[in-house]
Amino acid sequence: MDMPWVYTFFDLLGTLAFALSGAIAARQRGLDLFGIVTVAFCVACGGGIVRDVCVGAVPAAGLLDVRYLAIAIGASLLTILAYAAVQRISQPVQLFDALGLGFFAVAGAHKAWLYTGNPQLAVMMGVLSAVGGGVIRDILLNRTPQILEKEVYALAALLAALIQMGGDWAGVRAPSWSALGMLAGVGLRLMALRFKWNLPRFTGDS
């Protein structure tokens, strides 16, 4: 079952954004070429592969479609060859991570809806697609996953997935609606970073 081109486009853009975030983070940790490509691919495709397995879209697109691997390799080479330029971007890992979050939440929710017709599962898979790559990146690089911290992270993915699912459920097929969901998720994540919005944190104190 093929997705409409616009969602495939969002999926590939999300792959590029997450591949760049993974490659940059790996480069910052001083990994070699193989390590950078491995992290970039796992970050770019990990969440999507888990989503596809969960909804029965197998073999997973990230393993079957050569474009995903090519994007991961390209992002790795770009990061290595133009690292000085990339570093000039303010917080490059978080920027590309936010973009990937929005793209994958929308594309993931729509694909899960196409395969299952279940709105709850579609939203959950949209969030999983969006946050899975970041979790894999942080685990591979021995960092606390952002989704487990107090930052507004999964909430931004949830917003994008809910908007997309609302449109799918209502029969809205306009790409502009999906773009709205993507922009809402990315916007919330970037604003949370800019203004340091955090979810409540609870301690053991009474």
pLDDT of residue 180: 96
Average of per-residue pLDDT values in the chain:
92
Domain presence at residue 27: yes
Q: How many domains does the chain have?
A: 1
Residue 204 lies in a domain: no
Task: Classify residue 202: in a domain, yes or no.
Answer: no
Q: By residue range, what is the domain housing residue 122? A: 5-195
Burial readout 177-200 (b: 16 or more C-beta within 10 A, e: otherwise): bbebbbebbbebbbebbeeeeeee
Domain assignment of residue 80, yes or no: yes
pLDDT at position 174: 87
In a domain, 66, yes or no: yes
pLDDT of residue 2: 65
Paired tokens of 94: 């978080």
Q: What is the pLDDT of residue 76?
A: 96
Note the pLDDT of residue 200: 82
CA distances from residue 104 to 75, 87, 92, 127, 135 in whole angstroms, order as listed: 17, 24, 18, 8, 14
The rounded distance, in Å, linking the Cα atoms of 117 and 47 is 20
Burial class (CB in 10 A: 0-12, 13-18, 19+), 40: buried
16 within domain boundaries:
yes
Q: What is the pLDDT of residue 205?
A: 60
pLDDT for res 151 = 78
User: In the 3-class helix/strand/coil scheme, how is 56-121 assigned residue by residue?
Assistant: CCCCCHHHHCHHHHHHHHHHHHHHHHCHHHHHCCCCHHHHHHHHHHHHHHHHHHHHHHHHHCCHHH
The reported pLDDT for the residue numbered 89 is 85
Question: Which segments of the chain have a pLDDT < 50?
Answer: none
